[in-house]
Amino acid sequence: MIRAALEAGRAANRIYHGGFEVHTKGDDSPVTTADHVAEEIILRHLAQHAPDLGVIAEEQAAAGNLPPVGAEFFLVDPLDGTKEFIHRRGDFTVNIALVRAGVPALGVVYAPASGQLYAGNVPAGSALRATLDPLDPVAGALQPMRVRSLPAAGVTAVASRSHRTPETDAYLAGYAVADLVAVGSSLKFCLVAAGEADLYPRLGPTMEWDTAAGHAVLSAAGGHVMAPGGEPLRYGKPQFRNTWFVASGAFVPQALAS
């Protein structure tokens, strides 16, 4: 999964620094050449190494290809944060997750523009990160990471750069927020996992491929991702659509209403 993410990220980075066209999908969201190229690379890797497992990938899904999956399957977002990519803000990511029985078990998140790599093995309780050369990423020098204890001065919250909602602001009003960081893509999960933030509420629509890899990284680092009613966010839902959720570090967050 790491090798697939790095190769896909390298291809996306070349397109990012070159020229690309932007198109609009049926749901009015943008898509670029990089989305398709990265997804093709990842699907090739997964077919080679895990041919018996189903794969739900964003661009395939947009084309109407939602194959049946069993209890164990992959979720792929080849370029999370396409708006950040288009506006050349840098915080876009490649995301690959393995789901087992509704729970993200393995996850890889790679930010090609900065070379930040995050990986999580939930059963092993192992979360790792590395900073790689964006032009020639080679997996290695992975260091362990862990969520931090809640700071006495208040939480550092992360929120979507492109999808902030009034509901998010209302939820955050229930906390002593020492700092609020706006960042795109699944990097929000990773900042919490790395102990650089504490809370990430997402009170807006997402798909399972948007969140599964970051969810796995955060869970492996000791964090939580809670759906409304305080239940853990689960995967394999109808049409692979998520409910609202709140991700947190070393504390259980205020529950969202069911």
2-142 against 155-248: fold identical: no
For residues 225 and 215, the answer to whether their CB atoms sit within 8 Å is yes
End-to-end Cα distance, the chain: 34
Q: How confident is the model at residue 19 (pLDDT cuts 50, 70, 90)?
A: confident
Q: Which residues contact 247 (CB under 8 A, 6 or more apart)?
A: 188, 189, 192, 199, 200, 201, 202, 214, 215, 218, 223, 224, 225, 226, 253
pLDDT at 136: 84
* Partners of 80 in the β-ladder: 93
Q: Is the dihedral of CA 43, 246, 235, 52 positive or negative?
A: positive
The percentage of residues in the chain with a pLDDT greater than 70, rounded to a whole number, is 99
SS (H, E, C) 102-161: CEEEEEEEEECCCCEEEEEECCCCEEEEEECCCCCCCCCCCEECCCCCCCCCCEEEEEEC
Q: In Å, how far from its chain's centre is CA 166?
A: 22
Q: What is the mean pLDDT of residues 77-94?
A: 93
d(CA 168, CA 174): 11
Half-sphere exposure of 179 (CA within 13 A, CB side): 11
**Per-residue pLDDT, 187:** 96
Residues 112-136: pLDDT tens digits? Answer: 999 999 999 999 999 999 999 888 8
Using alpha carbons only, give the angle 14, 17, 22 rounded to the nearest 5 degrees. 90
Whether the predicted model's global pTM rises above the 0.75 cut: yes
Please provide the CATH number assigned to the domain covering 2-142: 3.30.540.10
- The CATH number given to 155-248 is 3.40.190.80
Smallest Cα–Cα separation from 125: which of 140, 105, 109?
A: 105
Report domain extents, the chain: 2-142, 155-248
pLDDT at residue 181, as a whole number:
94
| pLDDT tens-place string over residues 187-240 | 999 999 999 999 999 998 999 999 999 999 999 999 999 999 999 999 999 999
Inter-residue contact 109 to 219 (CB < 8 Å): no
pLDDT of 160 reads: 80
Is residue 258 predicted with pLDDT exceeding 90? no
Measuring CA to CA, which residue among 231, 233, 229 is closest to residue 258? 229
Instruction: Take residue 227 and report the two structure tokens written for it.
Output: 């759906």
pLDDT of residue 26: 82
